[in-house]
Amino acid sequence: MKYSVLTLFPEFFEGLKQFSIIKRAIEDGYIDIETINIRDFSKNKHHKVDDYPYGGGPGMLMQVEPIRDAIASCKTDRSHVVYLSPQGRVLDQNKLKELATYDHLILLNGHYEGIDARALRYVDEEISIGDYVLTGGEIASMVLIDGTSRMINGVLSSEESYSNESHYNHLLEHPQYTRPQTFEGMEVPAVLLSGDHAKVAHYNKVEALRATLMKRPDLLSENKLTTEELKIIKSLKEESKRGGNHGHY
């Protein structure tokens, strides 16, 4: 996967390239991150890329021509252009999985009050990382790069490294434990020490469903759940009504 990041602040991404998994993925050739400074495409002698909006209003807008030319400088027939925008579709795990299938993502980062609306004709889709406003698109681009790159074959040690994580399969991840076995009176669940892989797998499934039911019930869409999962959820709800287990402690 190649990422072409169009930004006014290329140095923003130098730290990302040194991050453990991202750094290793770059070194091993699984991903490539290039930064392209939109100012390089300004025809202004001071490399100015913004101007006042027509009709008035606060702040400045990024101009359409440098954006168009920056996209054209790296776009191929296999490219997918994403504008990181508070007006875009909110990013979720399914969208990350979809984006991870592209060979080349071009990430356009807005700044100031945004971009000239005419620049959107050069964009394939707008994506937001949440219903709030950031100073620019750079942090959102980092989130997208991190989230997609970890699903590219070879970046992580095995598919299991991400397939059991929260949100990957419509459930939150089950609770996990490490040493010490006892901490301030809290014990690691005995089943996890049993060595019985089938029992451990079932236990983890139940606890993943429990966590999702307690924290993010909106994720439990019936059309995504198996018959077994629906039975477990029914049992957990009945247990809750009886005042049963709401956690391990």
Q: Report residue 127 as tokens.
A: 């994506």
Q: Please indicate if the annotation marks 38 as binding a ligand.
A: no
Provide the b/e sequence for 102-132 (b: ≥16 CB within 10 Å): bebbbbbbbbbebbbeebbebbeebbbbeee
Say if residues 66 and 41 touch (Cβ distance below 8 Å).
Answer: yes
Q: Please indicate if the annotation marks 130 as binding a ligand.
A: yes
Q: Of 7, 82, 60, 76, whose CA–CA distance to 37 is shortest?
A: 7
Residue count of the chain: 249
Q: Please indicate if the annotation marks 134 as binding a ligand.
A: yes
Q: Report residue 64 as tokens.
A: 């359409």
| Cα gap 17→62, rounded to integer Å | 26
Q: Please indicate if the annotation marks 131 as binding a ligand.
A: yes
Q: Please indicate if the annotation marks 54 as binding a ligand.
A: no
Report the SS3 class of residue 226: coil
Q: Please indicate if the annotation marks 154 as binding a ligand.
A: no
* CA distances to 126, 200, 222 from 55, in Å: 24, 63, 49
* CA distances to 32, 94, 154 from 106, in Å: 12, 19, 22
* CA distances to 7, 46, 48, 157, 216 from 42, in Å: 13, 8, 6, 43, 46
Q: Please indicate if the annotation marks 110 as binding a ligand.
A: yes
Known binding residues for S-adenosyl-L-methionine: 110, 129-134
Known binding residues: 110, 129-134
